[in-house]
Chains A and B, each alone.
Chain A
């Protein structure tokens, strides 16, 4: 067998281009952040589709997040990660405390990846358990969402909590850096 790796570093566009497309209030909110941690932007349509999906069961549900990632220049370069749409896992096995999403979700995500769009991460629910990353969640993030701009979003639809974790080490995204924007 011959194996020649052709993986390329993903080249991300500058965030300034994206920020200019936002409503002024959203642009100011994101531009006004003073920390140098990743910014996670969820479009209102993406949040709505996640919530509509996760509200359908008291057991854990989840799926993939598609969108774009940008370089955000500052004293320390960071990322702006934009979740534009979600792809719900339809073939899964779950309980109130566990979730196994079969591979069909990847097949349904692939046609939605137009030029520049990426699988930016994944999402799942913790019904009435709180929005946190378990050790299993961290392992999944480290194994399959290991770009510095990969995001994992956990939503507790009962307690109305949402948290985001970024990169292979599942760094928690500060609340002020997790922004829902009006654009579709």
Chain B
């Protein structure tokens, strides 16, 4: 299986990394890598969006060529919560 090199960033665009992963990796692997490398909360829900194409990747979907091409920019978007409960 070939690798693909892309850019990943946080939704507020203050963190960015160049990542090379196997195309057999899935969306959840990318989110987990962002959580690990940027010390993001692990108890939060995230969406993964290819902002170059506008497509979202579900956690179980592989990084095939339909979703990401070399050089594309992917964004890890957190669900935001507020409240007192």
The chain A residues found within 8 Å of chain B, CB to CB, are 1-8, 10, 60, 62, 89, 95, 97-103, 105-107, 110, 113, 118-119, 122, 124, 129, 134, 136-137, 139-140, 143-145, 147
Contact = CB atoms under 8 A, between A and B. Distances in A.
Nearest to A129: B84
Interface of B: 7, 10-22, 25, 29, 33, 37, 40-41, 44, 46-47, 49, 51, 75, 77-85
Minimum-distance CB pairs A-B, first 5 = A98-B83, A103-B77, A103-B47, A2-B20, A106-B11
Given A7-B15, A10-B14, A98-B81, 6 more contacts: A4-B17, A60-B82, A97-B83, A101-B80, A134-B82, A143-B41
Contacts of B78: 103, 143-144
Nearest to B30: A1
Contacts, number: 110
Contacts of B11: 103, 106, 119, 144
A99 B83 contact: yes
